[in-house]
């Protein structure tokens, strides 16, 4: 018989820990010298429990995010939104206010809808979404899909996965969240792994992971890959990519069990 778990953290502790982690991640991603996001761009989130998560409030700034700019939300109503076809902006706005745990908290970002979905994937505890200059110069070009699908060097495979999820341009908000879910489901069916990076055409990057360090690493490594992609394309027309065999050798075997768990099979 196991002893009583005296160290079980309280719900309040989980919330505080997640909020502090979101602040750290936001300040790292918002650093001006990294050129990942300016003004109100980008958003971050962390899972608190099976029922709630914390997310950056609408219109706040990553670099200077404060505790009051982080809002705790319930998953259930946001996940239900994903099943809706026709919703007015006003109705979506109303839901964003309704999902707050604390009625005095600021309105969460409209991108909280995709955060809610991605935080339900097994092993995903943190999300960072930014609009980096280096990545968007590729995502705003005809090479966006190729950049998402191919890999250029070993550390890109390690930090960003065997490929990134690619999402063609969609209106930010509910339509984008639904498009992200479609693309992620197809990715997991095919690749049997969680995505580490989702690339949004003409928009930006979403990095997801078990720790805030892995989210930061995936973001920084995708920036580096984008810079290399642009440089290699500039001097040779077409970058030389790693082969499928080389990628598999670095990444190892796909986890079939993950696929079943993530897709609820
Ligand atoms: Zn965005």
pLDDT in tens, the chain (265 residues): 444 454 455 778 888 899 999 999 999 999 989 999 988 899 999 999 999 999 999 989 999 999 999 999 999 999 999 998 888 889 999 999 999 999 899 999 889 999 999 999 999 999 999 999 999 999 999 999 999 999 999 999 999 999 999 999 999 889 999 999 999 999 999 998 889 999 999 999 999 999 999 999 999 999 999 999 999 999 988 899 999 999 988 888 777 777 777 777 6
Ligand 1: centre distance to CA 130 (Å):
6
Structural element, H or E, at residue 256: helix 256-263
Measured CA to CA in angstroms, residue 124 lies from 81, 89, 171, 180 at distances of 20, 28, 24, 15
Ligand 1: centre distance to CA 142 (Å):
20
Q: What is the pLDDT of residue 8?
A: 52
In DSSP terms, 197 is beta-bridged to 207
| Token pair recorded at residue 90 | 């006003």
Measured CA to CA in angstroms, residue 112 lies from 55, 173, 195 at distances of 7, 8, 18
Q: What is the pLDDT of residue 265?
A: 66
Q: 3-class SS at 165?
A: strand
Ligand 1: centre distance to CA 173 (Å):
9
Calculate the dihedral angle through the C-alpha atoms of 112, 165, 170, 223, rounding to the nearest 10 degrees.
Answer: 80
Q: How many CA atoms lie within 13 A of 77 on its CB side?
A: 14
CA-CA distance, 222 to 209, in Å (whole number)?
Answer: 14
| Token pair recorded at residue 116 | 């809610």
Ligand 1: centre distance to CA 131 (Å):
6
Ligand 1: centre distance to CA 129 (Å):
6
Write the Ramachandran bin of 108: left for phi over 0, alpha for psi from -120 to 50, otherwise beta.
beta
Q: What is the pLDDT of residue 100?
A: 95
Ligand 1: centre distance to CA 136 (Å):
11
């Amino acid at each position: 018989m196991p002893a009583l778990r005296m160290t079980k953290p309280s719900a309040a502790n989980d919330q505080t820990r997640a909020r502090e982690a979101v602040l750290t991640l936001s300040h790292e991603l918002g650093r001006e010298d990294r050129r990942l996001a300016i003004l109100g761009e980008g958003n971050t989130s962390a899972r608190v429990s099976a029922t709630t998560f914390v997310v950056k409030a609408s219109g706040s700034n990553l670099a200077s995010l404060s505790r009051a700019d982080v809002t705790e939300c319930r998953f259930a109503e946001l996940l239900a939104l994903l099943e809706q076809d026709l919703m007015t902006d006003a109705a979506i706005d109303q839901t964003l206010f309704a999902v707050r745990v604390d009625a005095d908290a600021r309105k969460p970002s409209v991108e909280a809808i995709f955060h809610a979905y991605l935080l339900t994937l097994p092993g995903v505890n943190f999300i960072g979404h930014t609009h980096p200059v280096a990545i968007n110069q590729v995502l705003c070009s005809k090479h966006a899909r190729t950049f998402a699908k191919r890999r250029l060097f070993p550390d890109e495979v390690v930090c960003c996965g065997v490929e990134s999820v690619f999402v063609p341009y969609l209106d930010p908000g509910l339509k984008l969240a639904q498009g992200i879910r479609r693309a992620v489901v197809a990715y997991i069916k095919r690749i049997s792994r969680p995505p580490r990076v989702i690339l949004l055409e003409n928009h930006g990057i979403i990095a997801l992971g078990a720790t805030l360090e892995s989210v930061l690493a995936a973001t920084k490594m995708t920036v580096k890959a984008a810079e290399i992609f642009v440089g290699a394309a500039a001097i040779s027309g077409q970058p030389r990519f790693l082969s499928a065999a080389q990628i598999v050798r670095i990444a190892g075997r796909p986890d079939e069990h993950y696929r079943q768990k993530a897709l609820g099979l």
